Amino acid sequence: SSNDVFPTAMTIATYEEAYHSLLPALKNLKKSLEKKQKDFEKIIKIGRTHLMDATPLTLGQEFSGYVRQLENGIARIESTLPRLAELALGGTAVGTGLNTHPDYAEKVAKEIAKITNLPFITAKNKFESLAAHDVQVELSGQLKTVAASLMKIANDIRFLGSGPRAGLGELQLPANEPGSSIMPGKVNPTQSEALTMVCVQVFGNDTSVGFAGASGNFELNVYKPVIAHNNLQSIKLLADGSNSFNENCVIGIEANEKRIKDLMESSLMLVTALNQHIGYDQAAKIAKFAHEKNISLKEAASELGIIDEDDYDKFVVPGDMTHP
């Protein structure tokens, strides 16, 4: 019956694409980010929370967060595969297996597993596999989560590379093509922009899959075409987007160490290191005074008579602020 053949085809297609296309792409991107994490491990920079200056960390630590996001994303996709491997074939019209041999479902699943070299098995409950496609909704949710991770990473990288003179300018991104039809020499972060658009599409696809998965009536969900289309599209977009972002952006990222150092040394949030020595209120007074007078924290601390410059240098060491 088309009622069990169609969901079986959907299962095989989404499993194969996730396994053979998406997972390798995410693993390659993770590997490149891991290399950048190591390359940048000794570069101390200012952190940012609420888009405002925060305490220091290393650029490597910042990239380690991206690596972990991808590790989790890969694990999420892989965790869905065992449930995705269950085949509806043999359920026939409504899940009872009417008009099939008693051993058909088991044998056909083994044959499909042999042909594809993937661990497909017959569904434990054919009524569920025809009437509901919860595992496809689950897969879509995992794809959406990966997209959310990639969008955060791509946005961070393009903002850190903004400039080159009036932006943050902490990263130097590869110049893949001229970025403006009117402004000579302008280069835009097109790889980040492309990946974020991919992620937006995946978010939309997931919304549709959620509604479609919830719309099965009684013994059959008839929304299989939109579920299959959207999940396959999301997988392809994320795989292709990750490969392009990796090859044309991440591999070529370089740190602008001078700019990073200048921004870090000028940050008022280095004053946080003084909390344990002079207390929060006195430290806040130094930061506000430095900001109002447009002077350094060290100068502000000295002028206010709260702490002398020698003690300031002893207590405020950015490198010591990057660990407990």
Q: Would you name the residues annotated as active-site residues?
A: 50, 180
Exposure pattern of 279-318 as b/e (b: 16+ CB <10 Å)? eeebbebbbebbeeeeebbbbbbbeeebbeeeebeebbeb
Rounded Cα distance, 47 and 62, in Å? 9
CA distance 74 to 80: 10
Q: Please tell me whether residue 116 adopts helix, strand or coil conformation.
A: helix
Cβ neighbours, 10 Å, residue 155: 16
Is the omega angle on the peptide bond into residue 324 within 30 degrees of 0, that is, cis? no
First to last CA, the chain: 62
**Total Cβ atoms within 10 A of residue 195:** 29
Beta-ladder partners of 57: 45
Instruction: Give me the count of residues in the chain.
Output: 324
